[in-house]
Structure 1
């Protein structure tokens, strides 16, 4: 079985930068924190907490608000990191205190970092002090949660579909 770490990165008191905490909470609410092959954590804004959270996992999924050139607020992004570089990005992802590539390079000897890391994120609409996500990001959260679930399945983890109330049931 494949062990996968889902790691949220971001600052929950900077509005849309806290979107990853909302995603991790939704996955916990769906019971994925009970899955034996999935770990869920929120690393805040410290790159080395993120590395520690994915230490020893076969694969990691990092969720963050991503400032992507030419992207619109609410746009969802999937970027794969393999063999020391991002495969489909011509920019570096900032983990707040370090760039992602710098943190991975610096922590390579101290942590057993997965060979494949998938970064899933959304372009934020508002990154100012506050606790509420913008309407744009709130509207896109379900899609981002679904993408994390799809990544877990893609990585080899069998997960149940979210429970859906059937008509006529109580």
Structure 2
């Protein structure tokens, strides 16, 4: 059986930047890990410490906020290659770290399939709560994760 991890990254202290972590917390409440045999990881703000995750999994879904210039709440689904051509001054440090960690894993002979699900933030400021609009996208984000994993919810 394929080993799959959903990795949420972001900063919970910066409102919508923490969306990846908030989604992981929501998936844990739904017992997603035990129901669908998926590992859920709160990666925090420095995924460079998570090289082992990229070495021990065949598939990784990364959840993070991405400033893509679209409406807040827009959900992006990107490959690392697509993200690599997209890097600009407003790109999150976390997104750059995803590319760095993948490069390091490949140097060590590991090449997991990685998909990045990014959410356009509404507001990045000091606050522990998501903006109401971004919080409202969590069910849609979970739908995208389910689609990516071919999980059908009745």
Q: Taking structure 1 as reference, are residues 109 and 37 closer, same or farther at Cα in structure 2, changes over 3 Å only? A: farther
The residue that corresponds to 1:165 in the other structure is: none
TM-score normalized by structure 2? Answer: 0.84
The residue that corresponds to 1:106 in the other structure is: 104
The residue that corresponds to 1:2 in the other structure is: 2
Whether 1:91 and 2:83 are equivalent positions in the alignment is no
More helix by share: 2
1:38, 1:49 → 2: CA distance? 20
Whether 1:161 and 2:141 are equivalent positions in the alignment is no
Q: CA deviation at 1:100?
A: 2.7
The residue that corresponds to 1:137 in the other structure is: 134
2:78, 2:95 → 1: CA distance? 20
Q: Is the contact between residue 56 and residue 113 of structure 1 (CA under 8 Å) also seen in structure 2?
A: no
2:134, 2:36 → 1: CA distance? 30
Q: Taking structure 1 as reference, are residues 97 and 45 closer, same or farther at Cα in structure 2, changes over 3 Å only? A: farther
Moved more, 31-40 or 1-10: 31-40
Q: Is the contact between residue 12 and residue 21 of structure 2 (CA under 8 Å) also seen in structure 1?
A: yes
2:30, 2:109 → 1: CA distance? 29
Q: Is the contact between residue 146 and residue 152 of structure 2 (CA under 8 Å) also seen in structure 1?
A: no
Q: CA deviation at 1:129?
A: 0.8
Q: Is the contact between residue 41 and residue 53 of structure 1 (CA under 8 Å) also seen in structure 2?
A: no
Query: Mind listing any 5+ residue stretches in structure 1 that lack a counterpart?
Result: 154-158, 163-170
- What CA RMSD, in Å, does the superposition of the two structures yield over aligned residues? 2.4
Query: Mind listing any 5+ residue stretches in structure 2 that lack a counterpart?
Result: none
Deviations 1:14-62 (A, max 9, x none): 0001111111111111112225741110111112234333332111100
Aligned residues: 151
Indicate the structure (1 or 2) with the bigger Cα radius of gyration: 1
Q: Taking structure 1 as reference, are residues 35 and 109 closer, same or farther at Cα in structure 2, changes over 3 Å only? A: farther
The residue that corresponds to 2:146 in the other structure is: 149
The SS at the match of 1:43 is strand
